[in-house]
A and B are shown apart, each in its own frame.
Chain A
Amino acid sequence: MPQLSTFYHTLLRGRAGLLTGAALLLGSLLSGCDLIEFSPNETRTPEAYSDLTRKNLERLRQQPNPSGGDTVRFVFVGDSQRFYEEAEAFTQSVNQQRNVAFVAISGDISDFGLIREMRWVHDRLKKLNVPYLTVIGNHDLVANGREAYQKVYGPLNYSFEYGHTRFVLVDTNGREYGFNGRVPDVPWVQQALASPGPGISRQVVMSHVPPHDLDFDPQLVSPYVQALSTAPRVAFELNGHKHDFSIGQPYENGLTFINSYSFEKRQYVVLTLWGEKEFKLDTVQY
């Protein structure tokens, strides 16, 4: 950086320029710091707060399944938005659970779609002893939220396999896209759920907005539900958005939908799955 130092020297030669020089120097020193923000809507994020989905999946891959047989057990919760105190308590509670493989969060990590909120949430959830995996919620899509989420977490639609289970996570926040007929991406869902390998006992779909909600693109309800019910071995769909626990089969095809507690409810569910569609729900208060 010889030009830069020459520039500083030129500035420093004039005593009035000293101020400008000092301000620039201080500015460049602090530019890596959290305080420096070009806009609350910026999508700039430090390395420690980027690509978290990939990093958590990597961690999960290296971690042997704590449950035996074809069983898998994970914590299911949603809507961490603006519940920071609860996030702290949640982390402490989950760390006391035994045989939990990971935490699944059904969207609305942030409330305003701001990258700093995602950092605040991660600052608490990074203390979890197990990896956590998220799906995007409607609040995460406000303002520059889509890119903020992509930079901090990663893809909006993705899938992974763990503990004899294929998990398919999909963006279903159709209203945020003005019901444009492309969210959720039904062809992608069909492909992601197609032909599970012999090691896969069951498939689980997780999205934020459930298809029986007014924020789901109405023109896609039927193709989406159809895609899930015709795919092999789909155990259930997990959702958030409603901020409270519920379980039901709203469609005639018998597909089960489970909705998560939000962080503010100070409760979460421990889901244990085995066989093709067998599962057990344990509610934990914290």
Chain B
Amino acid sequence: MRRALLLPLLLLASLLPAAAQSAASAATPDTLSLALAAAPAAEPEPAEPAAAVAPTGLTAQPWYRPHHLILQTAAGQGLITAGVGYTTLRGRVDIDVLAGYVPSKYSITPMGIFTAKAAYSPWTLPVAQGRWQLRPFSVGGFVSHTASSGLNNSRDGKYEKGYYWWSSRTRVGGFVGGKVSRVIGRNRYGHPRTLGAYYELGTNDLYLSSIFTNLGGLGVHEILTLGFGVKFDL
């Protein structure tokens, strides 16, 4: 659990240099408001980026500089959840890490939920002369760990090994989703920078195990979860 609590620090640490650098390169302390203000105006033709510096991929940038910031709610990953992520495979794969919070109003003690997820989006369609982007379909998976001192462990000294087969803290799940984004300028490499809203319709291992042992007894609609979020390209 102690290791898990270090995760948000890691997230913060990865954010700081990125924020500092993007602020410096934009020559204004507030990149977001600049981007928003610039959005409705005609965008200047971007300088053709030098091919060597522009590839979108995990190796193109230092690991500590994430490609996007995320703010999310629900999907079983927190009431309020923030994270960072990377885009690779020519924009088709997003790999995100998030830290979520659920207050004690909804739990014995507050929960910290740390999630890693990967999603594959085969199509990104430009809409309205490229001012908008639509990702009609994504499919992905996640693994999450819940830290909460009041949560009764299903695997610890109270039981002999194998008493309960599942972990009460680790969840694995899958989802499908979609995203619609507004292009708001370009990033340092000349790629479109977007601010997008996404949804994820998913489920988890325990719900799946409930439905697979009750085919016909439990409806698919009963095991679904829904989450919403916003992704902002750095």
A143 touches B73 (CB 8 A): no
As a 0/1 sequence over residues 58 to 71 of chain B, the CB contacts with chain A under 8 angstroms (1 = contact) are: 00000000000000
Which single member of A33, A88, A142 contacts B217 (CB below 8 Å)? A88
Question: In chain A, residues 20-77, which have Cβ atoms closer than 8 Å to a Cβ of chain B?
Answer: 20, 22-23, 26-27, 30, 33-44
Give Cα A44 to B229, complex, Å.
Answer: 21
Which single member of A22, A37, A142, A178 contacts B154 (CB below 8 Å)? A142
In the assembled complex, the CB of B157 is this many whole angstroms from the nearest CB of chain A, namely 7
Query: Inside 8 A of B82's CB, which chain A residues have their CB?
Result: none
A142 touches B228 (CB 8 A): no
Query: Inside 8 A of A82's CB, which chain B residues have their CB?
Result: 209-210, 213-214
B107 touches A36 (CB 8 A): no
B225's closest neighbor in chain A, by CB?
A37
Query: Inside 8 A of A141's CB, which chain B residues have their CB?
Result: 152
Query: Inside 8 A of B209's CB, which chain A residues have their CB?
Result: 82
The reply on B171 being an interface residue by CB < 8 A is yes
Which single member of A34, A113, A117 contacts B152 (CB below 8 Å)? A113
Query: Inside 8 A of B154's CB, which chain A residues have their CB?
Result: 142-143
Which single member of A18, A42, A143 contacts B168 (CB below 8 Å)? A143
The secondary structure that dominates the B interface is mixed
B73 touches A27 (CB 8 A): yes
The reply on A162 being an interface residue by CB < 8 A is no
Which single member of B105, B106, B214 contacts A84 (CB below 8 Å)? B214
As a 0/1 sequence over residues 194 to 234 of chain B, the CB contacts with chain A under 8 angstroms (1 = contact) are: 01110001001011011001101110001011101110000
B228 touches A26 (CB 8 A): yes
B197 touches A38 (CB 8 A): no
Taking A112-B206, A142-B164 as contacts, is the C-beta distance between A39 and B214 under 8 angstroms?
no
Taking A42-B107, A142-B152 as contacts, is the C-beta distance between A37 and B76 under 8 angstroms?
yes
Taking A16-B182, A39-B111, A40-B207 as contacts, is the C-beta distance between A22 and B197 under 8 angstroms?
yes
Query: Inside 8 A of B79's CB, which chain A residues have their CB?
Result: 38
In the assembled complex, the CB of A141 is this many whole angstroms from the nearest CB of chain B, namely 6
How many B residues touch the partner, as a band?
35 or more
B76 touches A40 (CB 8 A): yes
Stretch binding the partner chain, chosen from A144-152, A195-203, A242-250, A252-260: A144-152
A178 touches B196 (CB 8 A): no
Give Cα A26 to B78, complex, Å.
Answer: 17
B39 touches A38 (CB 8 A): no
The reply on B95 being an interface residue by CB < 8 A is no
In the assembled complex, the CB of A155 is this many whole angstroms from the nearest CB of chain B, namely 16
Give Cα A33 to B61, complex, Å.
Answer: 41
Max chain B C-beta neighbours (<10 A), residue from A87, A112, A145: A112
The reply on B143 being an interface residue by CB < 8 A is no
Taking A38-B106, A40-B76 as contacts, is the C-beta distance between A178 and B158 under 8 angstroms?
yes
In the assembled complex, the CB of B205 is this many whole angstroms from the nearest CB of chain A, namely 10
Give Cα A83 to B201, complex, Å.
Answer: 25
Give Cα A61 to B221, complex, Å.
Answer: 35
Query: Inside 8 A of A223's CB, which chain B residues have their CB?
Result: none
Taking A37-B75, A113-B152, A143-B168 as contacts, is the C-beta distance between A23 and B107 under 8 angstroms?
no
Give Cα A227 to B230, complex, Å.
Answer: 59
B152 touches A176 (CB 8 A): yes
B210 touches A111 (CB 8 A): yes
Partner-B contacts on A (CB < 8 A) = 14-20, 22-23, 26-27, 30, 33-44, 82-88, 111-114, 116-117, 120, 123, 141-147, 175-176, 178-179
Task: List, sorted by A's number, 23 A–B pairs whose CB atoms are closer than 8 Å.
Answer: A15-B40, A16-B36, A20-B197, A34-B222, A36-B74, A37-B74, A37-B75, A38-B100, A39-B107, A41-B168, A42-B102, A42-B111, A44-B105, A82-B213, A83-B214, A84-B210, A87-B217, A112-B206, A142-B168, A144-B151, A147-B108, A175-B159, A179-B158
